[in-house]
Structure 1
Amino acid sequence: MIFHHILLQIFHNFNQERSISAPFHLLRGKRSGQTVQDVGIYQLHQYFGILPKLTRTKYNEELSTLIENQSLIVKDDGFYELTRNADEQLKKMQKLSLDGWHYRGNEHIYFARLSLIIQTLSHQRAGQMTFVPIQKDEQVQQWAKGFLKANQYKGGQLQPRLLNEIHSSLEQTNVEESGKNILILRLSGYGSSGLTWQQIGFQENMNDIDLQVIYIATLHNWMNIILANSEYFPLLHQMADGLRIKNPLTGSAFHSAELFNNGHSIEEISKIRNLKLSTIEDHIVELAMNEPHFKLEQFVSTVDIKKVFTAVDDYNTRKLKVLHEVVPHLTYFQLRLVLARGEQDAT
C-alpha cells in the first residue's frame, strides 16, 4: 500500500525522535514552527501538506493497520518503533516523486482550472453551452472565463491546441501510466462525468488514499514539466503559472527575513518587530531551509558544521539534546540551523 510506505518512510526519517502524531501534522501541512522545522531537520520536504484534508480518524485507521501487520510498535509515551518488517517494506517501496513543500495543495487549483476549461470546451463543441460547471469555486470560474476569453475560445481552435499540449506534456512526464489514467478519469465533458475516487478505486483495484497520493504525485511532476517548458505548453503554463511557491516562508518569517537580508541582527529584528528572540530564531531557521544562498558560516564555522554531522552519524540521531552534549559550545539555535540547512554546507 503506497500510503503505508509513505508513513513508514516518514517514521524512518523521524528516527523515533518525534511522536506518533508528527507524520499527521506533516501530511496536513501544519504551519507550526515545530512541523516546519522538522521538514528541514529530517529532510521531509516532499511530503509536506500533500494530504491537507487527511482526518485524524483516517490517520489512526492506517496506523492501526501498520500495527496489526507488525510494522509499527506504539509505546505508552506516544512514541514508536519500526520493526524488521517495516525495514523490509521500505526496501520494496515504490518511489514516488512528490513536491509538497513547493506546491502546498496548489496542484488542486491547477486541476480545477483545467477540468472546468475542458468541460466548457467539450460543451462548446457539442453546441450545448448551458451546463452545470464541475467546479463550484467562484475564483476558479472567474479565472476560467478570463482564460477562455483571452485565448479566443469561440474561434474553435482552442480545444485541439489544448488537447495537443496535454498529450505532449503528459508523454514527457516521468510517472506511471496509472497516474496519468487517474487524471483523465477525473475529467468531465459533454455527456460524461469524471469518476469519483470510489469508482476509480474499483476500476484500478486500489483504495482511495493511495489513488489520491498517486494523483498528487502525477500533478506535481506534470506541473514541473509544464512550468519548465512554457514555450512548448503555453496554454497549460497559463493554468499552472504562479502555483509553485518560489518563496515558501511563512508570512511572519518573510518579514523577519527581509530585515535580516537588509543587514539587521537577530536582536535588532526582535526589537523592531516586538517579538521574542526565540521567535526570530525560528524565522532564521526557516530562512536557512529555504534560501539556497544562505550563508550558514555567519553563524557556525565550517569545522563545527562537520562536527555536528559527524555526531549525527556516530550517534544516529538528530536530537538537539544529544547533539548539544557532543558539541556543547554550540547553542540550540546553531544546531537547529545546521540541521535545517542539511549537509550541503558540510562539504
Structure 2
Amino acid sequence: EVENYFSNHFYPTNLNQLTQGKETKEFWKKVLFLTQVLSELRYKNKRYLPIDKEFKTQLWVKEWLKRSPLDKQELAISYGKEWVQVLKEMDSFDAEIIVSQLTGHAKFGKTSTQIATKLGIEPMEVAFLLQHAISQLMDKINNKKESYPLFYLIYQESSGDRYSSLSQSTKLTAHYLENGRSIEEIAIKRKLKVNTIAEHVIELAIIFPDFEVARFIPRDEYERLNALFNRHEAISYEELVVKMPRVPFSWYRLIQVERSRTFE
C-alpha cells in the first residue's frame, strides 16, 4: 500500500530532515520570521501581525538585527538580494514551493492546504515537498556560503553551536555553568557583579526551554515560591517580597520563566 502510494506521489529521497530534523526546523522558522521582519522594515511598516509569536524566536530576531554591522535598510536589501540569488539557483518547482510559504509586506504565506488545492495534491505530500525544498535551500547555502553570508549565518546558528546566537558574555557564562560553576563562582572568576551573571542565567532560561531553573534556587525556597505562584499566578515581585523578604529578583524571574513554559 505504501509503495503504491509513493508510486503516484512525491517520494522524499534526500532530506536533511531525516537526520537533522531539529536543525532544519529551527533554520526554516528563523528564515521565515526574519523574512517578514525585514520585508516590513524595508517598507518602514511597524504595524503588522508577526507570524511567529514565540518569545524565543522574537528575541533571536532582535539580537540578530542588533549584531549586524549593516544599517537595517542595507541589511534588508542584502537579505532580499540573497533570496533572489538562491531562488534562481534552485529547481523552479522547489523555488515556487519555498516562495509560497513566505510572508512579507502585503504578502501572506500560503498554508499546506492552500498549496495542496492549487497543485491538486494532498497536504501530506506538500509537507514532503516543502521539506525537500528546504533541504535543497540549505544545501545551496552551505555549498556557496561566500555567496550567502546572511543566510549562512542563520544556517550556522541553527545547526552549529547551541550558544552561537548569544552575546560573548552570556555565552561564556553558559559554558561556565555547563562545567558546574555556580553564579557566585562565575561572578568571582569573571570579576563581574552577581546580578550580571544572574541576568545571563535568566536570558538562558528564556531562550532554552530545557534549561534547568531549579538548580539556581534552594529547594525549600523553590517549593515555597511555586506554592505562592499557585495561589496567585500574577503576583508581583513587590507583593512576593512581603511574604519572602530575602528572595532576589532573579529567583522570582526564573520561576516566572519556568511557569510560562508549563502554561504555554
Q: TM-score range by the shorter chain?
A: 0.5 to 0.7
One-letter amino acid of the structure 2 residue matched with residue 186 of structure 1: Q
Percentage of matched positions with identical amino acids: 17
Residues in 1 aligned to 2:132 and 2:104: alpha-carbon distance in whole angstroms: 24
Conservation of the 8 A alpha-carbon contact between 1:118 and 1:189 = yes
Question: Aligned runs of 1:158-177 on 2, under 5 Å?
Answer: 158-173=75-90, 175=91, 177=92
Q: Does 1:223 find its partner at 2:131?
A: no
Q: Does 1:236 find its partner at 2:236?
A: no
Residues in 1 aligned to 2:101 and 2:147: alpha-carbon distance in whole angstroms: 24
Output one character per residue of 1:255-310: Cα deviation in whole Å (capped at 9) or x when no partner: xxxxxxxxxxxxxxxxxxxxxxxxxxxxxxxxxxxxxxxxxxxxxxxxxxxxxxxx
Q: What displacement does 1:207 show?
A: 1.3
Q: What displacement does 1:95 show?
A: 6.7
Residues in 2 aligned to 1:208 and 1:240: alpha-carbon distance in whole angstroms: 27
Q: How many equivalent residue pairs? A: 161
- Within the candidate set 103, 107, 116, 2:20 is matched to 103
One-letter amino acid of the structure 2 residue matched with residue 184 of structure 1: V
One-letter amino acid of the structure 1 residue matched with residue 104 of structure 2: G
> Using a 3 Å threshold, how does the CA distance of structure 1 residues 228 and 108 change in structure 2: closer, same or farther?
same
Question: Aligned runs of 1:256-335 on 2, under 5 Å?
Answer: none
> Using a 3 Å threshold, how does the CA distance of structure 1 residues 203 and 99 change in structure 2: closer, same or farther?
same
- Within the candidate set 196, 214, 217, 2:129 is matched to 214
Q: What displacement does 1:142 show?
A: 1.4
Task: Name the residue aligned to 2:73.
Answer: 156
Residues in 2 aligned to 1:187 and 1:111: alpha-carbon distance in whole angstroms: 10
Conservation of the 8 A alpha-carbon contact between 2:17 and 2:24 = no
Residues in 1 aligned to 2:126 and 2:147: alpha-carbon distance in whole angstroms: 29
One-letter amino acid of the structure 2 residue matched with residue 142 of structure 1: L
Greater per-residue helix proportion: 2
Q: What displacement does 1:184 show?
A: 0.8
Residues in 1 aligned to 2:121 and 2:160: alpha-carbon distance in whole angstroms: 31
- RMSD across aligned C-alpha pairs, in angstroms? 2.8
SS in 1 for 2:65: helix
Conservation of the 8 A alpha-carbon contact between 2:14 and 2:132 = yes
Unmatched segments (≥5 aa) in structure 1: 9-70, 73-85, 247-347
Residues in 1 aligned to 2:111 and 2:29: alpha-carbon distance in whole angstroms: 15
Q: What displacement does 1:114 show?
A: 1.3
Conservation of the 8 A alpha-carbon contact between 2:12 and 2:128 = no
Q: What displacement does 1:150 show?
A: 1.8
Unmatched segments (≥5 aa) in structure 2: 162-264
Q: What displacement does 1:237 show?
A: 0.6
Output one character per residue of 1:196-229: Cα deviation in whole Å (capped at 9) or x when no partner: 1111112222211111101001111211221232
- Within the candidate set 53, 57, 65, 1:140 is matched to 57
Conservation of the 8 A alpha-carbon contact between 2:12 and 2:129 = no
Conservation of the 8 A alpha-carbon contact between 1:110 and 1:239 = yes
Question: Aligned runs of 1:1-80 on 2, under 5 Å?
Answer: 7-8=2-3, 71=4
Residues in 1 aligned to 2:116 and 2:137: alpha-carbon distance in whole angstroms: 22
> Using a 3 Å threshold, how does the CA distance of structure 1 residues 208 and 157 change in structure 2: closer, same or farther?
same
SS in 2 for 1:243: helix
Conservation of the 8 A alpha-carbon contact between 1:201 and 1:211 = yes
SS in 2 for 1:218: helix
Conservation of the 8 A alpha-carbon contact between 2:16 and 2:135 = yes
- Within the candidate set 178, 198, 201, 2:93 is matched to 178
